[in-house]
Chain A
Amino acid sequence: MSNQEDSQNPNNRKADMSQVTGKQESGTTSRTQAANPVATHSLSDVANARSAKQGQPIVGATGLEARNIHAWFGSKHVLEDISMDFFSGTVTALIGPSGCGKSTFIRILNRMHEFIPTAALAGQVILDGKDVYEPGVDVTKIRLRVGMVFQKPNPFPSMTIKENVLSGLRLAQIKISNADELLESCLKRAGLWNEVKDRLDEYGGALSGGQQQRLCIARSLAVNPQVLLMDEPCSALDPGSTLRIEETIRELSSSMSIVIVTHNMQQAARVSDFTGFFLSDGGPGRLIECSTTSEIFTNPKEKQTEDYVSGRFG
């Protein structure tokens, strides 16, 4: 039963969303195609199918840039010399085996790294031309512009669905007049509106895991971030919920830049425009290769990347 819903709903919802977001016809078409993919059996096919639809990303419009990032926990060097660009309007996937520093890296991007007591850092993270680690930068403002979705759905248990979505505004003490409109648009963009519109005053804990995760996405969207970091957002979810979140990611990618850590290479191939492959050979994690997703999955330059994406290790 739920399967049927899953297969029918996306189309309905897409129609809803394109009305709301006012997206152009081309966007809707590409998504419809994505829902009925050609017979894709290999990752490279998936990646190619996606990049063919997406067209060329807007190169040059740099939203976020990591320059020569090194990171340590205590005396352990966990990341070595990572430089990456995250272009606005694109999705970047970070792949690699566990423990290679992907999560550490995206936590560095919105300054969550510093909450670990032994953490240390070198390098720069440039957001709109300014280093976010510069002394005197207001870290809360950075985190407003660089939102984050976590691995485990973590809606605030003491708040209702509505309060959860709007919690970012209250937490950051931002006053707005059209809260209800914002609530609706955030939930619609996160693909949750139809499921919760009649139960906005229920508590977030009453939702299913997949719905909770989309609620968390809606919560991050409410403060209108430029960049959305997602740390394995689908790892605790079933395929149906994963599908919806991937649709949400595609939907959002037109208006912000998204960085997603994933262990699911199919997912990386499905949703991302660029892919970075991280690997640690016992020492610090390094960025082995970073390129367009189709390049990584079709024609990787490095032997290690090829081995990893073809499933020979990891």
Chain B
Amino acid sequence: MSQTVLMMKPQRPWKLTPKQILPDAIGALFTVAATLLLVAITPLKGKLGFALVLIAMAITTVTAISWIRRDRKAAMNSTTTVLVYIAASFVIIPLASVLYEIVRLGANALSFGMFTADMSQTASDSPLNEGGLLHALIGTAYVVTFATILSTPIGVLTALYIVEVKGRFAGVVRFFVQAMSGVPSIVAGLFIFAVWMVQLGNAYSAVAGAFALTVLMIPTVARTSEEVLKLIPGDLREAGLALGATQWRTVAMVIIPAAKSGLITAVILGIARVVGETAPLLLTIGGADAVNLNPLEGNMSAFPYHVWKNLLIGSENAISRAWQGVFVLMVIVLIFFALARYFGAVKGNKK
């Protein structure tokens, strides 16, 4: 008895056996072969023709196999499954190809020198081992950091007003937040340009850019935070209040810690919304080729500006610089998001 128990190995009886996989494998081979044949003998040509025929053949083959092996219901199930896979691939393929292009065009000629030099002494056309994008790095760091510092408290407090305080104007505030999230980004830039620079007489600077990005970032942070706070069960609020806490103590000690990882996601989404914004920055930071360490005054660069400028110049080296800028920005954002996810993960909450 105990012998048999010891002999038992964990198994997965629901896994497909080779015999079951075989028809599917043959079906897949047939699909590809038939597609190649059809493309060869019919006037459908090129990548588009191939893709269309492949999709049609895949649906037909999978449905036919299921129908033969099982019944109509299984055939319907298989058809839907294939359609879902195709839909998913329509989303993934463009994303993957964008990433692929960025890596292909941006990752070459990367060097450490890029992070220590700016473009003040280098023409965009000069070889890629000269110059760098330190100025863009510093500019984006300033602009995004200030925008985050400004918009995180405003956004989260707005969400708290809508969800927790449920003040008299909660509906109005929610409406304006939603309306604001549809504002074109250049309008935010124009707004800061008109108010902060024209009326108040300030010059181009990183803070002006940060203000413009804040206008764009608040609605994203507020809306996402609102959704996150709504997910916190009402009994937690009641539990806090029933223990004799004020509303503020309940929010600060119970609601916000419980929603922490969601709120961090809200801020990440906000940063993702603004980090690549070009139009509002063109109007507010002025653009520069040299490092400017003072965020309060003086023209500032940023990654989107650096990319935009080099693309406009249009020579081969300049375009390569633009791709490098995109690549480096992407990697930095990736690292930052990974860190935020890691530190924001809810520990121990298994539910």
Contact = CB atoms under 8 A, between A and B. Distances in A.
A171 B235 contact: no
Given A172-B249, A203-B350, A156 B254 contact: yes
B351 A205 contact: yes
Chain A interface main SS type: mixed
Interface of A: 110, 112, 115, 117, 140-144, 147-148, 150, 152, 154, 156-160, 167-168, 170-173, 202-203, 205-206, 216, 219-220, 223
10 contacts: A112-B241, A147-B242, A150-B235, A154-B235, A156-B239, A171-B243, A171-B254, A203-B349, A205-B349, A216-B239
Given A171-B243, A203-B350, 4 more contacts: A142-B244, A144-B243, A156-B254, A157-B351
Contacts of A158: 254, 257-258, 260, 346, 349
A141 B238 contact: no
B237 to A, nearest CB: 8
B45 to A, nearest CB: 59
Contact of A140 (B236, B246, B254, B350): B246
A223 B243 contact: yes
For chain B, the bracket of interface size reads: 20 to 34
Contacts of A115: 238, 241
Interface of B: 166, 233, 235-236, 238-246, 249-250, 253-254, 257-258, 260, 346-351
B235 A219 contact: no
A159 B249 CA distance: 15
Contacts of B233: 154
Contacts of A170: 253
Contact of B348 (A144, A150, A205, A219): A205
A171 B348 contact: no
B244 A112 contact: no
Contact of A157 (B243, B250, B349): B349
A179 to B, nearest CB: 16
A219 B254 CA distance: 14
Contacts of A202: 348
B241 A156 contact: no
A171 B246 CA distance: 8
A110 B235 contact: no
A144 to B, nearest CB: 3
Contacts of B246: 140
A205 B236 CA distance: 13
A110 B243 CA distance: 10
A255 to B, nearest CB: 18
A156 B242 contact: no
A205 B350 contact: yes
A76 B153 CA distance: 40
